[in-house]
Amino acid sequence: MKILQINASTRGPESQSLSVAENLIEKLKASSGVSVDTMDLFDGSMPAFDANAVGAKMALFTGAEATSEQKATWATVEEVFNRFASADVYVVNTPLWNNGIPYVLKQLIDLVTQPGWAFGFDPENGYSGLLTGKRAFIVHASGVYYEGISPNFGSDFATPYLDDWFKFIGVTEVEHIHVAPTVVNADYPTTKAKAITKAEAAAGAAVAA
């Protein structure tokens, strides 16, 4: 089993989402024959899905000849996709930023979600995911928002968005683990510790299932 760990946090060892994700991975590694590929989305290595990438994509669609720059860019995009597609299990950790996901996680999604690679399309039946037979675990961390809190304290568009995206590309088994709240509370240290303990228990249950 190959695990792709996708870290969308900037906080290193201080990241609650990363801590819970690494705890989850350790539980998964209890099985034999497990390897882990770690993708740190903030390390600057991901190519931009820019004009050259779009030009190469459109050249493929229309049968036109791509420029040398477009071909070079498309090769880097394909390299990212191949790395992503080679995994059997995805473990994503992400903070909740402005009610959604960090821009680098959206960048990865835009790179790998390509027709013929991640999904197919039929004029009569619509879209179909091509990355089947895989599973995803997503660890979400939020400083303030948590399920059931007043709308005045924000919203969570990240959970349904990532759930829909994984299922769109064919990954139908998706587990969400939430670490929240981790910042704003009258009893901050105790509440943060409880949130992490609860999330790690949920991660353990998801792995056992």
pLDDT at residue 119, as a whole number:
98
Q: Which residues pair with 137 in a beta bridge?
A: 91, 175
For the CA atoms of 104, 26, 89, 82, what is the dihedral angle to 10 degrees? 60
- Predicted confidence (pLDDT) per residue in 146-185, tens digit: 889 899 999 999 999 999 999 999 999 999 999 998 876 5
Distance from C-alpha of 84 to C-alpha of 93, rounded to nearest angstrom: 15
pLDDT at residue 49, as a whole number:
94
188 pLDDT more than 70? no
CA atoms within 13 A on the CB side of 90: 31
Can you tell me the mean pLDDT for 87-103? 98
- Only one residue has tokens 């720059």, namely 69
* Residue of higher predicted confidence among 39 and 203: 39
Q: Give Dmax (Cα) for the chain.
A: 62
Q: Which residues pair with 122 in a beta bridge?
A: 126
Peptide bond into 181 cis (omega under 30): yes
Distance from C-alpha of 175 to C-alpha of 162, rounded to nearest angstrom: 11
Is pTM beyond 0.85? Reply is: yes
Q: Which domains does the chain have, with CATH numbers?
A: 2-208 (3.40.50.360)
Name the strand (E) or helix (H) holding 34.
none
CA atoms within 13 A on the CB side of 159: 14
Alpha-helix residue ranges (DSSP H) falling in 123-182: 158-168
Reported for 48-54, long-range contacts at CB under 8 A and 24+ positions apart, including other chains, are 48/107, 49/77, 49/107, 49/110, 49/111, 53/77
Phi, psi of 69 (to 5 degrees): -65, -40
